[in-house]
Amino acid sequence: MSNATVRERPAVGARRLGYTIAVVVNAVMLYAVNAWPGWQAVPFLTADTAAVIPLVNASILVSLVVNAVYVVHDPAWVRALGDLATSAVGLVALVRMWQVFPFDFGGATFDWELLTRWVLGLGIAGSAIAIVVALVSLVRALTEGGGGRTIATP
């Protein structure tokens, strides 16, 4: 028999602070990638990076917008919908990055290409799982009224 515990969500103020921090971090990331110092300043990124930047920007922008919405309104169904959107756009960006693979690690003694492929693969798998979890959470929130509680089992 499992001891299920009901874990309440953090206070509204704490959640809003976290969402606000996420908005600021995403805005800084957009600026860093596109303005200063820009993705061109990263020595292992190739010119092919230009093919994935629009999707990377979309992923950051969706996260920024979703967190801005959460600052104002964050019931369980909105959170699940936002998580679904950010995971889906992130998945598209990761798959495109895998396809283009805009990285050149030169003659490094360590196999950075293999590690990068593994990290991208884990990100793709994690995003796919996150989409399924978000869909289940969305359906659950809509059918159960989205009471803001999470059931956690140890």
pTM (predicted TM-score): 0.84
All structural domains of the chain with their residue ranges: 5-152
Query: Exposed/middle/buried for 53, CB within 10 Å: 0-12, 13-18, 19+?
Result: middle
pLDDT of the residue at 154: 41
* Lowest-pLDDT choice from 7-21, 42-56, 129-143: 7-21
**Residue 91 pLDDT:** 98
Between CA 26 and CA 99 the distance in angstroms is 24
Q: Which of 2-6, 20-24, 42-46, 111-115 shows the lowest mean pLDDT across its residues?
A: 2-6
Per-residue pLDDT, 13: 85
Summarize pLDDT for 20-77 with one digit per residue, the tens. Answer: 999 999 999 999 999 999 999 999 999 999 999 999 999 999 999 999 999 999 999 9
Report strand pairing: 5-8 vs 149-152.
antiparallel
